[in-house]
Amino acid sequence: MKFLHLADTHLGCRRYNLDERTKDFARAWFDIVTRHAIGRRVDFVLIAGDFFNSRLVDSQTMNHAMIGLQALRDADIPVIVIEGNHDKHDVVTDHSWLRSLSKWRLIKLLEPVDAEGNQHLAWDETERAGWYIDIKNARIFGSHWYGMSANYALPLLADALKEARDPERFNILMLHTDVEGQLGRPIPALSVARLKELRELVDYVALGHTHKRFELDNWAFNPGSPEWCSTDEYREERGFYLVEVNDARRATVEYIQDYAQRKLQRITFDVSGADDPEAMHLAALEQIKREACIHDENSDALAPIIEINLRGHLGFKGSLLNLNLLRDETQAHTRALHVMVKNQTVPVEYAVAAGLDANTTRHDRERRIIEDLVSRDNRFSTRATDIAALIIEAKRLALAQEAPEKIVDLIAARLDAETIDEAKIDDVKIDEAMMKKAAIDESKTGDHLTDEVITDELKTDDAMVDEPSADNVPPASDGVPANHTHPLISHLLNV
């Protein structure tokens, strides 16, 4: 006995407003059906959810589905399907195209409970309903999309499987679910421990949902989607399984990727250092010409989709980048199906905290952002590190409900120390007026911070964003207003 296990075919997936991209999903599906299901004369095909990209199936998508399903019906190969989160039935009307296709004898949709709320066990060919079906020496169980309640549903499923499994057969469970550890997102996925509670009950778990290949214990298998649904999925392995089961109910599982797939090529160009838009454009184009795949229009291969990522610090305004020209020139040179240019550069006017990666701690990120903002002002650029530390310390004290006087004292003392240090270095006597001005300018820097960067932490008070002018320079002789309403202090206390 042998069968194909696919999942997440996502027929009807539309991207980049390109009809060809929608057809890619149909091409992959039809290639798998004709060359691998029919060509290898398998006994059945499993589709573990998300056969369609959406429960709202348009006519083109239904045609794509039917081409494959009719070919399989003509070859007498049953198609066993479960719902996925993308194509599950409508909760109000209970209708779904999968239920209709099942009634029309093109697929067998396995559901523990049908549209009328009836519980089912063995597949009834007339009723077109059932939770499990026997084909050759396999017993195949379906399941619903449990979403976030998978961890609660699994013990119930296990109890039901204990009753319904056939120890004489190769028991397969089809399951559309997230599995712990397979996604980089902190969402409540089905725990591996829960899944393994089924270990003694079923011989093969046919998973779907996560768009990348993974396997657990040579027992639970997730093939990934035959085509990539977003560029982020491109680097994941995708394909389907061909499973052969011998008379001793031992399975040999082969992973297959040989079918029509559209290639994505990513090219990254670092714009840092270029201060002339035209020179940058030419340099980018030169790299693209060096690295890009050139599509041969006489070959059978599908023309690739090319994604160009521009990264780094621009030395000029972002509006001077001619992204459309770069896209068109790349397209003309490579004859790609589609070229995307993603601008992830930082224009010179926002060049703050460059080079920090996702692993940078919040503390280091905040310190760098403040330091970079302080550095923009040439008057403070040489002591940006110290001033950034002072601002963070003052904020920390304010959040800790420290007395305003103490924060003022700290700022005054530090500014004094720094000013004196500078005076020593430069051998210039800094007068009191300069100190006052530095204190006020610093408060201005603080306001910029809240405007642009840490608005979630420090709420901007409109009254505090006034430009410092001769009028609002505090009159106090020590450089700090006597009533402790120094803008920076008030600001920090105003959280």
Q: Which residues are catalytic?
A: 86
Sheet containing 170-176: give its strands across: 132-135, 138-141, 170-176, 204-208, 220-222, 214-216
As measured in angstroms, the least distance from the Cβ of 13 to Mn ion is 9
320 — alpha (psi -120 to 50), left (phi > 0) or beta?
alpha
Residue 152 φ then ψ, to 5°:
-85, -30
Output the 3-class SS for 276-322.
CHHHHHHHHHHHHHHHCCCCCCCCCCCCCEEEEEEECECCCCHHHCC
289 — alpha (psi -120 to 50), left (phi > 0) or beta?
alpha
Hey, what's the torsion of the CAs at 80, 82, 88, 89, to 10 degrees? Answer: 60
As measured in angstroms, the least distance from the Cβ of 50 to Mn ion is 4
Which of 254, 221, 224, 252 is CA-nearest to residue 239?
224
Of 237 and 328, the one with the shorter C-beta distance to Mn ion is: 237
**94-107 exposure pattern, b = at least 16 Cβ within 10 A, e = fewer:** eebbbbebbeeebb
The yes or no reply on residue 418 touching Mn ion (CB under 5 A) is no
Near Mn ion in 356-395, by CB under 5 A: none
Q: Using CB under 5 A, which of the segments 27-35, 42-50, 182-190, 486-494 binds Mn ion?
A: 42-50
Q: Hey, how many other C-beta atoms are within 10 angstroms of the C-beta on 217?
A: 10
Residue 464 φ then ψ, to 5°:
-95, -5
Question: How many chain residues touch Mn ion (CB under 5 A)?
Answer: 2
Of 223 and 312, the one with the shorter C-beta distance to Mn ion is: 223
As measured in angstroms, the least distance from the Cβ of 84 to Mn ion is 6
Q: Using CB under 5 A, which of the segments 1-9, 274-282, 329-337, 450-458 binds Mn ion?
A: 1-9
The yes or no reply on residue 8 touching Mn ion (CB under 5 A) is yes
Q: Which residue is nearest to Mn ion (CB)?
A: 50
As measured in angstroms, the least distance from the Cβ of 10 to Mn ion is 6
Of 50 and 227, the one with the shorter C-beta distance to Mn ion is: 50
CA distance 344 to 333: 23
Distance of CA 399 to the CA centre of its chain: 34
Near Mn ion in 50-109, by CB under 5 A: 50
As measured in angstroms, the least distance from the Cβ of 98 to Mn ion is 14
The yes or no reply on residue 227 touching Mn ion (CB under 5 A) is no
Q: Using CB under 5 A, which of the segments 48-56, 64-72, 376-384, 400-408 binds Mn ion?
A: 48-56
Near Mn ion in 474-493, by CB under 5 A: none
Of 50 and 114, the one with the shorter C-beta distance to Mn ion is: 50
Q: Using CB under 5 A, which of the segments 3-11, 65-73, 194-202, 443-451 binds Mn ion?
A: 3-11
DSSP alpha helix (H) spans, 197-261: none
Q: Using CB under 5 A, which of the segments 44-52, 121-129, 212-220, 420-428 binds Mn ion?
A: 44-52
The pair of structure tokens assigned to 366 is 């905040």
Q: Which residues bind Mn ion (CB under 5 A)?
A: 8, 50
